A and B are shown apart, each in its own frame.
Chain A
Amino acid sequence: DAKTTQPTSMDCAEGRAANLPCNHSTISGNEYVYWYRQIHSQGPQYIIHGLKNNETNEMASLIITEDRKSSTLILPHATLRDTAVYYCIVRVAMNSGYSTLTFGKGTMLLVSP
């Protein structure tokens, strides 16, 4: 699986957009970008994933650069409950056979009032 680089921590004001970057310069053509988050004292939670097109769901948007070497997770209107560690993971499709997730250190996002 390709290596990812994320900032250790970020701050965001409540109600503003939170933009979390992830670098994955060694990503392969068949590797997807997955985002999970972990709220304190809970298990990780799936947010979104994508291959090359931008993706949006009820939780967030995922913007992947054209060269696919980096991506940004966008929480459009951050709330206090979005305070969590956000993990960016790059790997082949989860349903492609051997399918585990390797978590790095992630970005600690702190949303403040």
Chain B
Amino acid sequence: DAGVIQSPRHEVTEMGQEVTLRCKPISGHNSLFWYRQTMMRGLELLIYFNNNVPIDDSGMPEDRFSAKMPNASFSTLKIQPSEPRDSAVYFCASRPTLGEKLFFGSGTQLSVL
């Protein structure tokens, strides 16, 4: 199994541009999570999907952030417009239905100039 796949690994963009981060969870996993990590705030949960349905998006910073999961094998996190304070590493994770473990991807390093 290739694990949780995130793309791109690195993204550099200018303030005001739209950014789309992508995640492919492990096949058969029905829960998907987006986390953001910064030095100041550590790892923060942004949104949690179960069976492609958003269950908790209370961690999404503001309306500039949106996440979708159109099917069981793909999710996107979009920032529009991006701001320098959005610079962080964004992690996607998935979990099987009855599993206890979260499996994380390698993350996307986002830099907004």
Question: Which A residues contact B (CB, under 8 angstroms)?
Answer: 32, 34, 36, 41-46, 49, 93-95, 98-105
Q: Is the interface of B mostly helix, strand, loop or mixed?
A: strand
Q: Are A94 and B105 in contact (CB under 8 A)?
A: no
In the bound complex, CA of A94 to CA of B30 (Å): 13
Contact: B55 with A95, CB < 8 Å? no
B104, A44: Cβ atoms closer than 8 Å: yes
Q: What residues of chain B lie closer than 8 Å to A95, measured between beta carbons?
A: 97-100
Besides A44-B104, A95-B97, A102-B45, 7 new A-B residue pairs in contact (Cβ under 8 A), listed by A number:
A42-B106, A43-B104, A49-B100, A98-B56, A100-B45, A101-B33, A103-B43
Residues of B within 8 A of A (CB): 4, 31, 33, 35, 42-43, 45, 48, 55-56, 91, 93, 95, 97-107
Q: How far is the CA of A100 from the CA of B93 in the complex (A)?
A: 10
Q: Are B45 and A94 in touch, CB under 8 angstroms?
A: no
A43-B105 contact given A100-B45, A100-B48, CB 8 Å threshold: yes
Closest beta carbon of chain A to B45's beta carbon, Å:
5
